[in-house]
Structure 1
Amino acid sequence: MTQRTDVVVIGGGQSGLAAGYHLRRLGIEHVILDAETAPGGAWQHTWDSLRLFSPAQYSSLPGRLMPVQQGEPYPDAAQVVDYLTDYEKRYELPVRRGTRVEGVHRDGSGLRVETDSGPWTARAVIGATGTWTRPFLPAVPGRRDYRGRQLHTVQYRSPSDVTGQRVVVVGGGNSGAQIAADLAHAGIDLTWVTQRPPRYLADDIDGRALFDAATARRRALDEGRIDTGGVASLGDIVAVPPVRAARDAGLLNARPMFTRLTPTGVEWADGTRAEADSVIWCTGFRPALAPFASLRLRGTRGRIAVDGTRAADESRLHLLGYGNWTGPASATLIGVGRPARDAARAIAGLLA
């Protein structure tokens, strides 16, 4: 039996909840379909020592500040999960758990959302599926020949995963630096490799400044002014306390990216080799846009062209939280609030 509502939100993580908050404020009937069986989105699957790179008050969704944890300026993933769980309950958001969306199709004046528990029809859809389910692995020569263990960020939990092993961590962003620091503090035999020398932000810069930089860049581009460079102009790694401590202790010494994997390790262009029992790829993610494939909207770099959050070629579809292309810093807790508000307002206009 087909169920009907004005708006279907696909994804019940931070972006989906922010969308639900603004839809609820506007009195728009909606449902949030989430494949997870518990609240918290991707945060319930991260590594144990992960820290946000913004203080709690700058890591909040619209309407409710994240509580400050005594003695912990930067929240961990468990605190974020607790916050999102409370947020969902506080605003009585209509989340349907354990519902996997299989596809979105045009259906007359609306959109049909096929799920593993039956179809929905809606006048608009908000995609908030995120990126966590689409880890990216680069096509490095020899990767299929390597006989050791290969993990991505999504599979790493703690140094106990690789106790007694020689480990290569690949990636010069925040996840690469945090996981390398995690292993270094635990005394793991670590080789950290990055595409370019690590670029640490100044120690007094955190997510607040990054959000401001991303917002200023978007404003400059919208007004036809010179590109400020945004977050990329400041650096790649926020020096959260564990990273700063490992760096200052001389435990984080990055080597250039290797040219290939061997059956037992990695090799650089000059023939230098390092043996490795495990390789951890901290190489980022791609947007999880498979549910929208049948709409045939993808363009360059696998993305869907957008005007703000609205799909350029499908006015009934909005996208939230996939990165700066769907709103400044929209993949962050604090950053998704504004584009979620804009999407809700645009949908209200469409429904009217």
Structure 2
Amino acid sequence: MKTAVVVIGGGQAGLAMSRCLTGRSVDHVVLERGGVAQAWRGERWDSLRLLTPNWMSRLPGHRYDGDDPDGYMPAAEVADFLESYGRSFGAPVLPGTTVTAVRIGHAGSLVETDQGSWRCRAVVLATGAAGSARVPAVAAAIPAGIRQLTALDYRGPAQVGTGGVLVVGASAAGVQLADELSRAGRSVTLAVGDHVRVPRTYRGRDIYRWMDAIGRLDERYDQVEDLARARRLPSLQLVGTPEGRPLDLNALAASGVRIVGRLVGVSRGRAQFSGSLANLVTGADLKLHRLLDLIDEHVAAYGLIGRVGAPDRPGPTRVPVAPTEVELARFATVVWATGYRPRYPRLDGALFDRHGRLRHDGGVAAAPGTYVLGLPFLRRRRSSLIAGAGPDARELCDHLVRHLSQRRAAA
């Protein structure tokens, strides 16, 4: 089978690219191992909602048009939203098609699947950033009698039996799972590493509305000093509840969650935690206030004082003195909320750096005619959000179309 472009992945990134290619009359297919929005439909915990308000759910030629623009869609509604998007322009999605390998050559690429092979002139890897869970090596030292789950495995409190729970990681997934398990009556300990603290609302508006207004989300990959660090930043400590409540370490500690430092080892039946928790929370608080300073400057510069709320800044993070060792016997379950890594089909090892990361320049991979979409800070800070898939796809589509034109001219 032949086509001009093969897009791998039928989530928001793959569909956004498909819409852009359709608008440019470029022949293509979208290969999806499950169905459209498979990850949103079946690979997230039951209570998950968007961290971004619904009004931010916009893709090329499509946007949220429901009656709750300031709410946060549950995962199932996100899947419905994306399925509706694909239908709106007749996205050429082939569901139930697992890509097993991509062989890139000078004359084009061969995409091998369990349903046959495709020859094409360009490939877009739009499988996203959360293909598999990132689990630290220390997991191997956890005793066999303690159940281990990842954030991708977890569905709800009923899945976690009685006994204490150690949640490792304090980004969005970690704080949400710790909060949910605590509310369900579990005894929860949260191991905290590097994290990004923000309020759910500030001066009467959602924090994402402010970050959008001040241009924070549109910072480009070629404008930041340390791009590698920017791409590694944890997701924001937020939860998208209907009441818009905050969720940070203070809120968790107040609800009974035990806060400890980063999990650094296991020895003689004891979990060992870093003593740097105080430094981590101080650093997170400083970054929080730098962001709020930018918002306050924006309010003053645009004459919004009196039109928005007062600068209701959250207080400092206050956690009790944390132990550096805890008996593992107090835990029946460990939940790893330690991040994700992309899952690609088999590719030439030369496309990856020494850390196993796909080498690319703003989504343009090292091999001509190969592109990647849906990664954090791919081309701008909003890249990993639904609202970031469109702008990235448009720019990469322009590059891809030029590549196809050059190939035709050279033929």
TM-score interval for Structure 1 and Structure 2 normalised by the shorter chain: 0.7 to 0.9
Alignment of 1:177-326 (within 5 A): 177-196=175-194, 199-204=196-201, 205-209=206-210, 212-216=215-219, 218=221, 220-221=223-224, 236-238=236-238, 240-241=240-241, 244=246, 248=251, 250-251=254-255, 252-261=257-266, 266-268=271-273, 270-274=324-328, 275-291=330-346, 293-294=347-348, 296-311=350-365, 313-325=366-378
Query: Shift in Å at residue 10 of structure 1?
Result: 0.7
Specify every segment of 5 or more residues in structure 1 that has no aligned partner in the other structure, as ranges: none
Q: Read off the aligned partner of 1:124 and give its amino acid letter.
A: A
* 1:337 equivalent in alignment to 2:390: yes
Identity of aligned residues (%): 29
Q: CA deviation at 1:217?
A: 5.1
SS in 2 for 1:113: strand
Give CA deviations for 1:257-299 in whole Å, capped at 9, x if unaligned: 23334687734475432511110000111122343x2262111
Distance change >3 Å, CA 325–CA 182, structure 1 → 2? same
Greater radius of gyration (CA): 2
Q: In structure 2, do the counterparts of structure 1 residues 113 and 235 end up closer, same or farther at CA, with 3 Å as the change threshold?
A: closer
Task: Give per-residue Cα distances to partners, 1:131-172, cap 9 Å, x unaligned.
Answer: 333211011175353421100000000111114231111111
Q: TM-score, normalised by structure 1?
A: 0.87
Spell out the pairing of 1:136-175 with structure 2 (5 A cutoff): 136-140=134-138, 143-175=141-173
Question: Which is further off, 72-81 or 60-69?
Answer: 60-69
1:5 & 1:303 partners in 2: Cα distance? 28
Amino acid aligned to 1:43: W
The answer as to whether partners of 1:210 and 1:231 remain within 8 angstroms in 2 is no
**Cα deviation code 1:77-115 (max 9, x no counterpart):** 011011011111111000000111111113451111111
Gap runs ≥5 in structure 2: 275-323, 406-411
Q: Helix, strand or coil: the match of 1:4?
A: coil
What does residue range 113-124 of structure 1 map to in structure 2 within 5 Å? 113-124=111-122
Q: 1:91 aligns with which of 89, 92, 112?
A: 89
Query: Which deviates more, 6-15 or 123-132?
Result: 123-132
C-alpha spacing 1:32/1:161, structure 2 compared with 1 (3 Å): same
Structure 1: distance between partners of 2:363 and 2:123: 11
1:296 aligned partner, one-letter code = A
What RMSD, in angstroms, separates the aligned Cα atoms of the two structures? 2.8
Letter in 2 for 1:180: A
For residue 303 of structure 1, what is the amino acid of its counterpart?
A: R
Residues 128 and 264 of structure 1: CA distance in aligned 2, closer, same or farther (over 3 Å): same
Match of 1:346 in 2: 399
SS at match of 2:13: helix
Structure 2: which amino acid aligns with 1:316? G
2:8 aligns to what? 10
Which has the larger displacement, 122-131 or 262-271? Answer: 262-271
TM-aligned CA distance change 1:195 to 1:237, over 3 Å? same
Conserved 8 A contact 2:104-2:367: no
The 3 A distance-change label for structure 1 pair 349 and 71 is closer
Helix, strand or coil at the partner of 2:179: helix
TM superposition shift of 1:239: 5.2
CA distance in 1 between partners of 2:24 and 2:150 (Å)? 40
Q: Relative to structure 1, is the Cα distance of residues 144 and 318 closer, same or farther in structure 2, using a 3 angstrom cutoff? A: same
Tell me which amino acid in the other structure corresponds to 2:46.
Answer: D
Aligned position for 2:316: none
Q: In structure 2, what is the Cα distance between the partners aligned to 1:127 and 1:113?
A: 11
Contact kept in structure 1, 2:124 and 2:372, CA below 8 Å: yes
- 8 Å CA contact 1:264, 1:276 repeated in 2: no
Residue type matched to 1:201 in 2? V
CA distance 1:158–1:310, change in 2 (3 Å):
same
1:140 aligned counterpart, secondary structure: helix
**What residue is the counterpart of 2:75 in the other structure?**
77
Encode CA deviations 1:290-312: one digit per residue, 9 max, x unaligned. Answer: 43x2262111432222222211x
Does the C-alpha gap of structure 1 residues 210 and 168 become closer, same or farther in structure 2, counting only changes over 3 Å?
farther
Q: Contact (CA 8 Å) 2:270, 2:325: kept in 1 or not?
A: no
The residue type equivalent to 1:350 in the other structure is H
Closer/same/farther in 2, CA of residues 208 and 233 from structure 1, 3 Å limit: farther
**Structure 1 residues 216 and 199: alpha-carbon distance in aligned structure 2, compared to 1, 3 A threshold:** closer
**Contact (CA 8 Å) 2:198, 2:238: kept in 1 or not?**
yes
- Provide the C-alpha distance between the structure 2 equivalents of 1:153 and 1:116, rounded to a whole number of angstroms: 28
Q: 1:243 to 1:298 in 2, by over 3 A?
A: farther
- Cα contact 1:206–1:238 (8 A) shared by 2: no
Deviates more, 1:210-219 or 1:107-116: 210-219
